[in-house]
Copies of this chain bind each other. A is one copy, B any other.
């Protein structure tokens, strides 16, 4: 019962949508879950091997050539349900941008603005990507559709919040950089 990493959830979940090779699984995770999840080969292949040993996935088309497609088994589906029901374990927060801004006095307002501008650009990129993903999901008629849209919506809310915050932060930093511009009385 030791192995209960969230990687198993991602792997079994991915295979629950459709059978795939390890390589395709990684691509799918990057492209589809990319805005809230990531896995590397170093995680995926050993996890697949474990899951196979336990009978939760099975290897099809193991032709003489390396490539083999993995499919989830009925017991694997049960295992997935079990893992999904486990409590979400919150990762300790680590936000490099906020860490820098907190000590921003040592960095100066101008450099801070550059950092925030980068964050703003990122948020705007993200919003564009979400619009595309949303359109794509809304187009199809899967049972999963509404659940998938839930995660897109989370991304959208979060990106809009980042955008709004960045605007606020930029005007605060502009004042710190040049108080004269907003307090015309003090030209000293």
Query: Chain copies in the assembly?
Result: 2
Residues from chain B with Cβ under 8 Å of A153 in the complex: 165, 168-169
- Chain A interface residue count, CB cutoff 8 Å, equals 62
A-B contact pairs, 13 of them (CB 8 A): A13-B99, A13-B102, A33-B99, A35-B93, A37-B99, A84-B100, A101-B147, A101-B151, A105-B144, A149-B172, A154-B165, A157-B162, A160-B161
Q: Could you tell me the distance between the alpha carbons of A102 and B88 in the complex, rounded to whole angstroms?
A: 13
Q: Which of B84, B96, B98 contacts A103 (CB 8 A)?
A: B84
A23 contacts partner chain B, Cβ-Cβ < 8 Å: no
Residues from chain B with Cβ under 8 Å of A98 in the complex: 36-37, 151, 154
Residues from chain B with Cβ under 8 Å of A96 in the complex: 6, 88-91
